[in-house]
Structure 1
């Protein structure tokens, strides 16, 4: 008798040619793209955590919302994050979340989750290029620009 087991299927449907994907060359590029795609009705209300997934040429394959939380925090499941990145064959990521308060200073939990994700990515050979903090007025803070990454 053959035991019954679940089947796993991995697929990725590329609907936009890679040459049309936005290219990220600087934190300003990432912040501008994020501000364009963020829900402006909620950016001042609650925290949302997203990841930009890039190919080896720093072209954006996808932007994925991982979670949204309360006014002062959002939970990030690192396993879910890397499960998604691996599924779409990403080679680099940029983390992003908003601070509804308008504060452009990363908190200690912001620094801790960034380091945890950086270490996990290193094991998987997925580069963490930046962590961008967005505020409702359109400004941003870049971990990479500030020398934290």
Structure 2
């Protein structure tokens, strides 16, 4: 069987690049769910937080310093798409060893739904395989938040 090597230039190139605009010494360190919530709420468009769901991810290094924030999806009034492969694709690209996930509830109710609990479990399990720890899942509203970790649900 003859293998053709003439078309090797027709293969797509994959390049892994992480570009930061923040010096390592200037990165924020997240020590609590409250600090994470404050950072996330400051990035949320207040015109959208009570309008439709959005899903965001904080990528952290081993020292719990923020490597980046990724707005993964925007959805409807009662849900948004969470693609676990995209979460970990971005986490690996950022060289993150920890992550915190967050989404808002436009209703103002911070109680996690069954879907919230299920996706949290799946993300935690996927992270364990890759040695990327899910530190928390925050449900954010304009006035308060719910932490899976603080409430013993993670």
Match of 1:106 in 2: 112
Between the two proteins, the alignment pairs up a number of residues equal to 148
Question: Where in structure 2 are there 5+ consecutive unaligned residues?
Answer: none
Q: Distance in 2 between matches of 1:93 and 1:79?
A: 14
Q: Distance in 1 between matches of 2:142 and 2:50?
A: 6
Match of 1:51 in 2: 57
Find out whether 1:2 has 2:6 as its counterpart. Answer: yes
**1:31: Cα distance to partner?**
0.4
Deviation >6 Å, runs of 4+:
none
Could you tell me the TM-score, scaled by structure 1's length? 0.97
Selected match of 2:68 from 49, 62, 66? 62
Equivalent position SS for 2:122: helix
Equivalent position SS for 1:50: strand
**1:15: Cα distance to partner?**
1.9
Could you tell me the TM-score, scaled by structure 2's length? 0.94
Question: Where in structure 1 are there 5+ consecutive unaligned residues?
Answer: none
Please report the RMSD computed on the Cα atoms of aligned residues, expressed in angstroms.
0.8
Cα deviation, 1:63-112, whole Å, max 9, x if unaligned, reads 10010110001110100110000011000000000000000100000000
Which structure has the larger Rg?
Answer: 2
Q: Distance in 1 between matches of 2:19 and 2:98?
A: 19
